[in-house]
Copies of this chain bind each other. A is one copy, B any other.
Amino acid sequence: MNSAGFFDVLTSFTDRSRQLLGRRDLALDQAEAAAGVVQLCEALLSGRGEASGMAIASEVLNRYLRLDETGRLMLFEAFAEKFGPDREKLSDAAKAWLDAPSDADASDLHYFSEARRQELFRRLNRAPGGTHALVRMRADLLELAPNRRDLAPLDRDLVHLLTSWFNRGFLVLRRIDWSSPAIVLEKIIHYEAVHEIRDWDDLRRRIDPMDRRCYGFFHPALSDEPLVFVEVALTQAMPDAIGPLLAEDRAPVALEQARTAVFYSISNCQRGLAGISFGNFLIKQVAEDLRRELPKLETFVTLSPAPGLARWLRRGEDVSVPEESRALLDSLDDEFWPQDAPAAERLRRVIEPLAAQYFLKAKRADGKPIDSVARFHLRNGARLERINWLGDRSIKGLRESAGLMVNYLYYLDEIEKNHEAFANHGEVVASPAVKKLLKPETRSRFARAAPASSG
């Protein structure tokens, strides 16, 4: 008896399953193709899945990749409709628990209410490249069906699984430098979302000089894919503009002179992991590692854009300015405005108080600041340290942030306090200098509203 040919699963399964399932050919229309995938998914959840699970899982993933957008959407609909929980068992469990509520019974209720698609995804993950494919699937879902309420439970389940799998404890921090594989570096170029990297020479200036660092989180199952990365400049003082920091001809700072680590760009890389936050952990880990390596570093600070400012200045309902200032604000539409120095100076006197209002007082419906970057760093426990006039003269900087840049300061002894002030009371912790920018009347109202923040 000869078992050669054994387990040739990944390459041969297509043929076998086609035969087993009675498939005739691959030129199916998308509906038929999606139905085929659904059938395989049922097989994967059945006994057959136990015997040759990796083969079936691989086949599902291969077929998924061959579906077009219509096919994928059909599949998502099937996941949402047909792979929910077993309603009968769930119904019994819900009644039982309501009769006698207890933790133990809630456990039954919890596991009977788990949608079957969760086990399906866990089994798909067993295939080589499975994790990658599931992250991709989530990205497709976000792109193809951003607002479909019927697909929300599907998204919720995917997010739940991916959040659990991409737990901080499984992430690996890796330094990214000029010795990193090109396959990683090209992704840094591609994913940099804050200050564009034009080409490989530009990349090299960001990661190769001794006073530049780049770190990313990686997951062992996605080895060449950074999840999030941060670019760091080591400087003497807290910087007030991005231009000099990225200038081609700047002189590098000797390591023994560096006192400040500037986080000037944080970029998420995986669309499919949207909503799962890594940046918080990344900043803190990098700060910790840098401090261990370079004990002379004293200050950990960002140099950040204010990406919602310009839009708010133009449209914000709560922007109350005199008529003449309104005209000045209109001049922001001309991207050459910084070149007229006297006019720029006039603008500054109008915008700085407004910017302070934007960060300190203007709120979204949920009581949080309008600025997404501010929300991120304030939630992390950082303090709004300084607003830098004309810190970013790039077209993007002028268009989105009205040229302003912001330093958020990460200071250990205050982080917990800051975070709780922000998370529990919506308080924006800011330096006296920033508060002073508020117009007098605004400032006094601010002072009344948040007396505790005068640290």
CB pair B47–A3 under 8 Å, yes or no, is no
Most chain B CB atoms below 10 A, which of A87, A94, A413: A94
Q: Which of B103, B287, B379 contacts A153 (CB 8 A)?
A: B103
Q: Which of B3, B91, B221 contacts A300 (CB 8 A)?
A: B3
With the chains together, A204 CA to B185 CA distance in Å? Answer: 13
When each residue 246-274 of chain A gets 1 if its CB lies under 8 Å from chain B and 0 otherwise, what string results? 00000000000000000000000000000
With the chains together, A7 CA to B284 CA distance in Å? Answer: 7
With the chains together, A125 CA to B169 CA distance in Å? Answer: 5
Q: Which chain B residues border A419 with CB–CB below 8 Å?
A: 47-48, 50-51
Q: Which chain B residues border A98 with CB–CB below 8 Å?
A: 91, 94-95, 98
CB pair A287–B6 under 8 Å, yes or no, is yes
With the chains together, A207 CA to B165 CA distance in Å? Answer: 33
Q: How many residues of A contact B (CB 8 A)?
A: 99
Q: Which chain B residues border A376 with CB–CB below 8 Å?
A: none
With the chains together, A52 CA to B288 CA distance in Å? Answer: 13
When each residue 126-154 of chain A gets 1 if its CB lies under 8 Å from chain B and 0 otherwise, what string results? 11101100000000000000000110110
The stretch that binds B, out of A78-86, A329-337, A396-404, A435-443, is: A78-86
With the chains together, A351 CA to B110 CA distance in Å? Answer: 49
How far is the CB of A83 from the nearest CB of chain B, in Å?
9
Q: Which chain B residues border A355 with CB–CB below 8 Å?
A: none
CB pair B153–A7 under 8 Å, yes or no, is no
Q: How many of these chains are in the complex?
A: 4
Q: Which of B107, B220, B288, B418 contacts A7 (CB 8 A)?
A: B288
Q: Which chain B residues border A172 with CB–CB below 8 Å?
A: 220
CB pair A3–B411 under 8 Å, yes or no, is yes
- Chain A residues 339 to 365 lying within 8 A of chain B, measured CB to CB, are none
Beyond A103-B153, A106-B115, is A50–B182 a contact (Cβ under 8 Å)? no
With the chains together, A170 CA to B129 CA distance in Å? Answer: 10
| A446 CB-CB contact with B under 8 Å | no
Q: Which chain B residues border A6 with CB–CB below 8 Å?
A: 287-288, 291, 300, 410-412
| A90 CB-CB contact with B under 8 Å | yes
The stretch that binds B, out of A30-38, A173-181, A304-312, A316-324, is: A173-181
CB pair B106–A101 under 8 Å, yes or no, is no
When each residue 86-125 of chain A gets 1 if its CB lies under 8 Å from chain B and 0 otherwise, what string results? 0100110011011001011011011101110000001001
With the chains together, A295 CA to B156 CA distance in Å? Answer: 46
| A375 CB-CB contact with B under 8 Å | no
| A369 CB-CB contact with B under 8 Å | no
Beyond A153-B103, A416-B48, A423-B47, is A2–B126 a contact (Cβ under 8 Å)? no
With the chains together, A114 CA to B164 CA distance in Å? Answer: 13
CB pair B291–A131 under 8 Å, yes or no, is no
Which partner residue on chain B sits nearest A419 by CB separation?
B51
Which partner residue on chain B sits nearest A109 by CB separation?
B113
Q: Which chain B residues border A125 with CB–CB below 8 Å?
A: 167-170
How far is the CB of A329 from the nearest CB of chain B, in Å?
33
CB pair B107–A94 under 8 Å, yes or no, is no
- Chain A residues 385 to 439 lying within 8 A of chain B, measured CB to CB, are 409-413, 415-416, 418-420, 423-424
A-B contact pairs, 13 of them (CB 8 A): A6-B288, A8-B412, A54-B168, A54-B281, A85-B110, A94-B97, A104-B153, A111-B160, A178-B182, A180-B181, A181-B181, A182-B200, A182-B204
Chain A interfacial positions (CB closer than 8 Å to B): 1-9, 47-48, 50-52, 54, 80-81, 84-85, 87, 90-91, 94-95, 97-98, 101, 103-104, 106-107, 109-111, 113-115, 122, 125-128, 130-131, 149-150, 152-153, 156-157, 160-161, 163-165, 167-170, 172, 178-183, 185, 199-200, 204, 220-221, 224, 280-281, 284, 287-288, 291, 295, 297-300, 379-381, 409-413, 415-416, 418-420, 423-424
